[in-house]
Amino acid sequence: MRVLLVTALVGGGVGAHVRQLAAGLVGRGHQVVVACPAEVARRFDLPGVGARVLPVELGHRVRPGADHASRRRLREAMAGVDVVHAHGMRAGAAAALARPRYGPGLVVTSHNGPPAGGAGMVYELLERVVCRRADLVLGVSPDLVDRAARRGAPATGPAVVPAEVSPLGPGEHGAVRDRLRAELGLQEGQLLVLSVGRLAPQKRTEAAVRAYQRVVDDHPTTVLAVAGEGPEAARLHELAATGPGQVRWLGHRADVPALLAAADVVLSSARWEGQPLVLQEALAAGAPVLATDVGGTAVVLGGAGRLVPGGDDDQVAEDLATVLGELLADPAARAELGRRALARAAELPDGDDAVDAVLSCYQQVLAARDDG
Phi then psi dihedrals of residue 184, to 5 deg: -85, 0
What percent of the chain lies above the pLDDT cut of 90?
81
pLDDT at 12: 79
Annotate 204-250 with DSSP letters as a single string.
-HHHHHHHHHHHTTTSTT-EEEEE---TTHHHHHHHHHT-SSEEEEE
CB 203 within 8 A of CB 307: no
Give mean pLDDT, residues 14-28. Answer: 96
pLDDT tens digits along 105-164: 999 999 998 887 888 899 999 999 999 999 999 999 999 999 999 999 999 999 999 998
Kindly tell me if the per-residue pLDDT of 204 is higher than 70: yes
Q: How many CB atoms lie within 10 A of CB 287?
A: 25
pLDDT higher for 37 or 62? 37
pLDDT at 118: 83
Q: How many CB atoms lie within 10 A of CB 241?
A: 8
Give mean pLDDT, residues 41-52. Answer: 95
- Taking the C-alpha atoms of residue 315 and residue 321, their distance in angstroms, rounded to an integer, is 10
pLDDT at 61: 64
pLDDT tens digits along 268-314: 999 999 999 999 999 999 999 999 999 999 999 999 999 999 989 99
CB within 8 A of 99, min separation 6: which ones? 75, 78, 84, 106, 133
Give mean pLDDT, residues 52-73. Answer: 80
CB 213 within 8 A of CB 273: no
Give mean pLDDT, residues 181-191. Answer: 90
Which neighbouring-strand residues pair with 55? 36
pLDDT at 116: 79
- Taking the C-alpha atoms of residue 321 and residue 354, their distance in angstroms, rounded to an integer, is 36
Kindly tell me if the per-residue pLDDT of 264 is higher than 80: yes
Q: Measured between alpha carbons, how far is residue 97 from residues 70, 333, 352 in Å?
A: 11, 52, 31
Give the model's confidence band at 28: pLDDT under 50 very low, under 70 low, under 90 confident, else very high.
very high
Which neighbouring-strand residues pair with 60? none
Give the model's confidence band at 369: pLDDT under 50 very low, under 70 low, under 90 confident, else very high.
confident
Helix, strand, or coil here: 169?
Answer: coil
pLDDT tens digits along 234-263: 999 999 999 899 999 999 998 898 899 999
- Taking the C-alpha atoms of residue 286 and residue 293, their distance in angstroms, rounded to an integer, is 20
- Taking the C-alpha atoms of residue 86 and residue 316, their distance in angstroms, rounded to an integer, is 34
Domains and CATH numbers, the chain: 2-162+350-371 (3.40.50.2000), 173-347 (3.40.50.2000)
User: Secondary structure of the chain: what % helix, strand, coil (to 5)?
Assistant: 50, 15, 35
Average pLDDT, the chain: 93
pLDDT at 63: 64
Give mean pLDDT, residues 204-213. Answer: 98
